[in-house]
Amino acid sequence: MNYSNLTKEQLIAKLAAFEQPKKIKAQKPFQFEKTRARHVAFKVAYLGQNYFGFTGTMNDPLPTIEKELFRALTTCKLIPSPDACGWSRAGRTDKGVSGFGQVVSLWVRTLSTAPFTLDWDSVKTLKDPIDIDGDYTEEELPYLSMINKLLPREIKVLAWAPVPLSFDARFSCQYRKYKYFFPTKGYDIAKMQQAAKYFIGTHDCRHICKLDSSKVERPEFFTRTIYEAEIEQASDKFSVFIVKGRAFLWHQVRNMMALLFMVGKGLEQPEIIQTLLDLKQHPDKSGKPNYDMAPDVPLVLLDCGYDSINWRIADSKDCLNQQKVFQDINEQLYEAELRVLQLNTLKEEYRLLGAMEGEVSKQKQHIPLMKRKRCESLETMVEKIQNKRENK
């Protein structure tokens, strides 16, 4: 167009037209009714320091791991919504806690039309599913790369697996395994190791957890089985408490660790674990002795175990996913190592100014656990619930 022939008013009109915001075409909703769904499990890893626990919804004001997973899954159109995919998780981790082997099961969009796939309306109404045989090895969508490219670098789906219709990440889980890292210096590791062994077996664990008020009317709920409990050297400066059990109660591992710390400091004898697990050694209807649980950040959900699950770590259509995951891990390792170097440099500069380093004692006078005030007991909580129910 020859703009030199336009009048002033015409030029102004042209400029105004250019400055008008472009109309964005409304995106057509994805037609899930034209697709099939298959049942899968995802192995999820995450660093939890900046998150308010694993569980959450897309509308949570606070960041959670599930919020990020749901956002990624809906964005890449693998699920219609969090409520319509049969979501199940192996474990719930608290604020600050990490997980390297968390497992979730759900229904996702699939390329397959095999008998083990369903339409999405059937997924919503599915109850008591019956397993169906089929070819689980056929080519599939690149689930790992589709999800991981939409997740923050602290969260990654490490692997996926085709699972039977009856599989449930929570109820099919045979064991959960945790690691808790702590500095070796200042602790009697041999005594802590001795104390840790007393956790092994089946016990009433009401004195080493936070009581869930929704479960106190079923006292048997607090009976738990621990398969392994040991302490190993993790590095030159750190040790690690490793515990494996069928399932764990609310804050149970952090309570266990708090008790081991007391033993390691010489404040309690290893046999205190036996005492806390034996209800006969406590006054009738007495609650847990009052003590603080261990910090959250050093705790990691390491593994969730299942029978006959074949994890796939590679996508058939995107071989770069593994390299991208390693790249994100290595970037965070570099940043962590750089921060250690910076902090050590800061310490040295402070020393050069004449500052003297020494340990600050935070230790209050220790009151033996069995002489401490008690938390509200299970029996008292049950009485309150029943009284409230009767007074309605």
Per-residue model confidence as pLDDT tens for the chain (392 residues): 666 777 777 767 777 777 766 666 666 788 888 999 999 999 999 999 999 999 988 888 999 999 999 999 999 999 999 999 999 999 989 999 999 999 999 999 999 988 889 999 999 888 877 777 666 667 899 999 999 999 999 999 999 999 999 999 999 999 999 999 999 999 999 999 999 999 999 999 999 999 999 999 999 999 999 999 999 999 999 999 999 999 999 999 999 999 999 999 999 999 999 999 999 999 988 999 999 999 999 999 999 999 989 999 987 666 788 999 999 999 999 999 999 999 999 999 999 999 988 877 667 899 999 999 999 999 999 999 999 888 87
Residues 186 and 217 in one domain: yes
- How many Å apart are CA 216 and CA 382, to the nearest integer? 6
Q: Return the SS3 of 252.
A: helix
State the CATH number of the domain containing residue 73: 3.30.70.580
Looking at residue 128, its pLDDT comes to 76
pLDDT of residue 136: 66
Q: Give the per-residue pLDDT at 346.
A: 97
List active site positions: 94
> Could you tell me which residues come within 8 angstroms of residue 295 by beta carbon, excluding any fewer than 6 positions away?
96, 254
315 and 244 in a common domain: no
pLDDT of residue 137: 66
Q: Are 157 and 148 in contact (CB under 8 A)?
A: yes
344 inside domain: no
The pLDDT of residue 358 is 80
pTM of the complete model: 0.89
Residue 10: its pLDDT value, please?
73
Together in a domain, 256 and 288: yes
Dihedral-angle region of residue 157 (phi above 0 means left; psi in -120 to 50 means alpha; beta otherwise) = beta
Question: Do residues 244 and 312 share a domain?
Answer: no
Using CA atoms, how far apart are residues 360 and 184, in angstroms rounded to an integer? 17
Task: Name the region of 336 (left: φ>0; alpha: ψ -120 to 50; beta: rest).
Answer: alpha
d(C-alpha 205, C-alpha 229), whole Å: 15
Q: Which parts of 16-65 are beta strand (E)?
A: 36-46
Q: In this predicted structure, what is the pLDDT of residue 364?
A: 81
User: Do 131 and 215 sit in the same domain of this protein?
Assistant: no
Q: Which of 246, 296, 196 is nearest to 91 (CA)?
A: 246
Count the domains in the chain.
Answer: 2
Task: Write down the pLDDT at residue 314.
Answer: 85
**Which tokens sit at 81?**
């919504």
Is the CB of residue 170 less than 8 Å from the CB of residue 90?
A: yes
SS3 69: helix
- 288-291 contacts at long range (C-beta below 8 A, 24 or more positions apart): 288/206, 288/207, 288/208, 288/209, 288/211, 288/374, 288/375, 289/207, 289/369, 289/370, 289/372, 289/373, 289/374, 289/375, 290/372, 290/373, 290/374, 290/375, 291/255, 291/258, 291/259, 291/262, 291/369, 291/372
Residue 221: burial class (beta carbons within 10 Å; 0-12, 13-18, 19+): middle
Q: Is residue 383 part of a domain?
A: no
